[in-house]
Each structure stands twice: as structure tokens, then as C-alpha cells.
Chains A and B, each alone.
Chain A
Amino acid sequence: AQSVTQPDIHITVSEGASLELRCNYSYGATPYLFWYVQSPGQGLQLLLKYFSGDTLVQGIKGFEAEFKRSQSSFNLRKPSVHWSDAAEYFCAVASNFGNEKLTFGTGTRLTIIP
């Protein structure tokens, strides 16, 4: 069965500093990987996705993620965070065709300090 682990429950970063959120997945075949962001009281917004090809994926709002098969990881990065990046971030994996069941991690809450 597929699973996702986000080891960091809560991360605090200063505005303008770099960010890396960790994600490890477990899946037997080639995974389809996603990062979503959720602001308080909101639904989920897709930041980026990996299906195949280049292992460094660019997303919206200046985010990028790198797929490392050898480490079963798909970490999210941003070189310089903004106060508006404060939110909950979820990593997810999908099986088969990528539009079926999504399995989410428990999320990482990001706090930005001035």
C-alpha cells in the first residue's frame, strides 16, 4: 500500500530565508507525486506535480521540488519565503494513472516570522 511521511509537523522560517519541506513516500511502482498548499479555512491548491521526466519540477509561487528515487523523497523548496507562504503543506502520492486515489501525508505547518 502506498504511504507518505512528512516528518516535520511544524516549521518556522524567517521571511526571506530559504525553505525545504521534507516528504518521503512508499510505493512499489513509479509514483505520481504532488505538493498541495492549504491556507486556513481553504481547500487545497496544487503547487506542483511530478509524473515523469525531469526530476526537478517547477511550480507556482516560486516553489520547486526534486524527485529522488533512491531516497524515495520528493522535497519541496523555495529560495526565499514571503509572509504569504504561511500555510499547511501536504505531500501526496497517487497510483496508476495519477488521477485516482491520492494518499496524503499529515502535513507540515509553515510559520513565517518577520
Chain B
Amino acid sequence: DAGVTQSPTHLIKTRGQQVTLRCSPKSGHDTVSWYQQALGQGPQFIFQYYEEEERQRGNFPDRFSGHQFPNYSSELNVNALLLGDSALYLCASSLSWVGETQYFGPGTRLLVL
């Protein structure tokens, strides 16, 4: 049973560019959450998708947007990249039931130059 997968593993962009990160949830999971982990910090919640809708959002600007597809996979889009967007972006999947655990993927490391 494949766990959460993310692509690409690494990415280098320049300021002002746009980036799309992808996530495939663990088999059977219908909820996807995205987190940003800056170097030396704990992950920060960006948003969560369920039934193709954004269900909850953290304190991130509108430059961060997402999408969930009918097969439950998800994309994170970041526009107008800033140097401060350099981080490890983690995707987590879970079931939508009460008490279900979030399982994390290996992350995508984004470097903005």
C-alpha cells in the first residue's frame, strides 16, 4: 500500500515565478492538508481540502492556493514567489472521520533564488 507521495522532490525557482506542487494521498484517504516547514521550524498549516473544497485555511496569503481533484489528489500553487517561500512543503492525507490521523509525505523542497 503506497503511502503519501509528492512531486517533485526538489525545485528551484526565481523570485516572481509561480510553482505547482503535487500530492497523491494514501490509498483510501479523502482529505489532504498542506504544510510549510521553514528551515529549523515546525510545519505551519497552509490549508486543507475535502470533497474538492478548501475546508480550513491557515494564516497564509492568497498567493497560496490549492486544488483537490476527484481522485483526491491535490495541488498547491504559489504565485509571485518570494525568497521567504523557500521551505519544505509537506502534504498530509487522512480520512475525514473523527479522530483520524494525518499521514505525511516526504515533502517537496523549494528553493527560491
Contacts of A104 in B (CB 8 A): 42-44
* A46 and B42 within 8 A (CB): no
Interface assignment of B81: CB less than 8 Å from any CB of chain A: no
Q: 1/0 per residue B35-65: CB within 8 Å of A?
A: 1000011111100100000011010000000
A41 CA to B109 CA in the complex, in Å? Answer: 9
B99 proximal to A (CB < 8 A) = yes
Shortest CB distance A22–B (Å): 15
A43-B106, A101-B58 as given contacts; A90 in contact with B42, CB under 8 Å: yes
Chain A residues within CB distance 8 Å of chain B: 4, 32, 34, 36, 41-46, 49, 51, 90, 92, 97-107
Contact of B90 among A32, A43, A46, A99 (CB under 8 A): A43
Inter-chain contact B104/A43, CB cutoff 8 Å: yes
**Apart from A97-B99, A100-B55, A107-B42, what 10 extra A-B contacts exist at CB < 8 Å?**
A42-B107, A44-B43, A44-B90, A92-B42, A99-B95, A99-B99, A99-B100, A100-B48, A102-B43, A102-B92
Report how far A34 CA is from B96 CA in the complex, Å.
17
- Please tell me which one of the listed residues A36, A49, A101 contacts residue B45 in the complex, with CB atoms under 8 A apart: A101
Closest beta carbon of chain B to A49's beta carbon, Å: 6
> For residues 47 through 94 of chain B, which have their beta carbon under 8 Å from a beta carbon of chain A?
48, 55-56, 58, 90, 92, 94
Give the A-binding residues of B (Cβ under 8 A): 4, 31, 33, 35, 40-45, 48, 55-56, 58, 90, 92, 94-107
User: When chains A and B are docked, how far (Å) is the Cα of A107 from the Cα of B40?
Assistant: 8
On whether the beta carbons of B104 and A49 are closer than 8 Å, the reply is no
Contacts of B97 in A (CB 8 A): 97, 99
Does the CB pair A32–B43 fall under 8 Å? no
A102, B33: Cα distance in complex, Å: 9
Contacts of B92 in A (CB 8 A): 44, 102
Residues of B within 8 A of A34 (CB): 101
- Which residues does chain A contribute within 8 Å of B96, judged by CB atoms? 99
Contact between B42 and A101, CB atoms less than 8 A apart? no
A-B contact pairs, 8 of them (CB 8 A): A36-B104, A44-B43, A51-B99, A101-B45, A101-B56, A102-B43, A103-B45, A107-B42
